[in-house]
Structure 1
Amino acid sequence: MALLEVRHLKKTYTNRFGTNQVEALKDVTFSMEEGEYTAVMGESGSGKTTLLNLLASFDRPTSGDIILNGLPFRKIQDKDLAVYRRKNLGFVFQDFNLLDTLSVRDNIFLPLVLAGEKTEEMKKRLSPLVKVLRISDLLDKFPYEISGGQKQRTAIARALITEPKLILADEPTGALDSRASYELLHMFEQINQAGQTILMVTHSTTAASHAKRVLFIKDGTVYHQIYRGDKSRDEMFRKISETLTVMASGGKEYA
């Protein structure tokens, strides 16, 4: 059974007067196995951000199903969604979403604190994470005292400390320079190799070329997908670039 199943997902937005409708997603279907690393790409307005919001359970679809680890989102009551997110989903945002009033350590601990986890368990989970992410010496600093790359590594630690089923990353390299981006993508690969399932929305061809699969969204549907297989990163980069060029030129869907 797939870890994540997305079945005929549709999302239509209606203005408050009910006179205008925008179909952000028309019919999106795909699945992810445990341990996959998938990037989602598409032009602005293609529906990829809407898809991410639905997968994050921040919004409800108009129709269709999202099933994570065998549980359909539609069966989760609104009052239980926050707890469900904390237990099953980890989030990495472009703008980090760290609290400047909390230390790096306390930012990482925050989802466990909200879940009522014991201090000893929090410390136990923290130790291996900060070593892998190379932020052991930053734990007593505050977000305004560290670099963008260090902030993003802190955000990754916060996402991983809950031991989520799925990491959702929204443009994780968008606010980073080239060196910090490279380090982050290398860490994502290491985290994925350790078994973590990752879905990343990105505009960056370089970022997407690190994934094992790339889904292309156009006009609210899945336009095409590329599997890495035995391709090198350079070959993956070229394939992604070619697909984006065809999409931008209004080319027909791939067979």
Structure 2
Amino acid sequence: MSLLRVNNLKKIYSSRFGGNKVKALNNITFSVEEGEYVAIMGESGSGKTTLLNILATLDKQTSGEIYLNEENILKVKESKLSEFRRNNLGFVFQDFNLLDTFSVKDNIFLPLVLSKIDYKEMEKRIKPLAKRLNIENLLEKYPYEISGGQKQRTAVCRALITRPKLILADEPTGALDSKSSEQLLNIFSDINNSGQTILMVTHSARAASTAKRVLFIKDGEVFHQIYKGNMRDDEMYEKILDTLTVLHRGGE
């Protein structure tokens, strides 16, 4: 069953007085099945970050439709958007987006506090997640006291604790060293194998090779896609590099 459906999505940016117009997205159409792990790739300026921001309800489309679990998210009232995000979406960002004045535990609890979840329920949820992500000994520390990899695992815990329908990840390995990146990608594969749906924007072919499908965006359109099937990560990696070479040559 399709968890996410994107139909004919367009985004046009206009200058203040309507003179210059830039088409960031042009008739983007795709779907994501429940339990899928999809990576989105493309050159800088291809529209992939704009797409992610619209899916996250942080930006508005010019036209088109987006359905999450058969609900048209573009028709959610402005006053309900924050609640919609907390109830349905989990976010993992390149720069972690943690609050230095909050402990690791309080950063993880923040979306639940905003949703007015009972404290006992918060404690019940965090214990297995913290253990799974190997941060159970860091919960009383502050973000400035832990490593980049630990910060990103904290961010993943914060995303998962709300039990979202969909995790949106924006360059999640971008600020990590190779070892921390590998650990994070293993975590993503693990949580996907347990049923969590993930949509990840990345520049990294290595990161994308761990996904089950890769969508390539070029000039605001879906240019190509690769299904992993029975391929190993290294085979998927080579296939991604081949596609990126064609992409950079302008599709010739």
TM-score of the aligned structures, taking structure 1 as reference length: 0.98
What amino acid is aligned across from residue 13 of structure 1 in structure 2? Y
Deviations 1:119-153 (A, max 9, x none): 00100110110011000000000000000000000
Secondary structure at 1:136's aligned position in 2?
coil
CA–CA separation in structure 2 for the residues paired with 1:149 and 1:74? 34
Secondary structure at 1:95's aligned position in 2?
coil
Displacement after TM superposition at 1:15 (Å): 1.1
Instruction: Please state if 1:114 is matched with 2:114.
Output: yes
Displacement after TM superposition at 1:155 (Å): 0.2
CA–CA separation in structure 2 for the residues paired with 1:17 and 1:41? 32
Extract structure 1 runs of 4+ deviating beyond 4 A. Answer: none
Aligned to 1:165: 165
Instruction: Please state if 1:104 is matched with 2:104.
Output: yes
Aligned to 1:34: 34
Secondary structure at 2:137's aligned position in 1?
helix
CA–CA separation in structure 2 for the residues paired with 1:165 and 1:133? 19
1:199-214 alignment, distance < 5 Å? 199-214=199-214
Displacement after TM superposition at 1:169 (Å): 0.2
1:1-255 alignment, distance < 5 Å? 1-252=1-252
Secondary structure at 1:11's aligned position in 2?
strand
Q: Report percent identity of matched pairs.
A: 66
What amino acid is aligned across from residue 159 of structure 1 in structure 2? A
What amino acid is aligned across from residue 144 of structure 1 in structure 2? Y
Displacement after TM superposition at 1:74 (Å): 2.3
Deviations 1:8-27 (A, max 9, x none): 00000111111111000011
CA–CA separation in structure 2 for the residues paired with 1:123 and 1:24? 42
Deviations 1:158-194 (A, max 9, x none): 0000000000000000000000000000000000001
Secondary structure at 2:183's aligned position in 1?
helix
CA–CA separation in structure 2 for the residues paired with 1:94 and 1:63? 28
Aligned residues: 252
CA–CA separation in structure 2 for the residues paired with 1:124 and 1:91? 21
Unaligned runs of 5+ in 2: none
What amino acid is aligned across from residue 219 of structure 1 in structure 2? D
Displacement after TM superposition at 1:59 (Å): 1.0
CA–CA separation in structure 2 for the residues paired with 1:206 and 1:32? 21
Secondary structure at 1:65's aligned position in 2?
strand
CA–CA separation in structure 2 for the residues paired with 1:251 and 1:72? 33
Secondary structure at 1:50's aligned position in 2?
helix
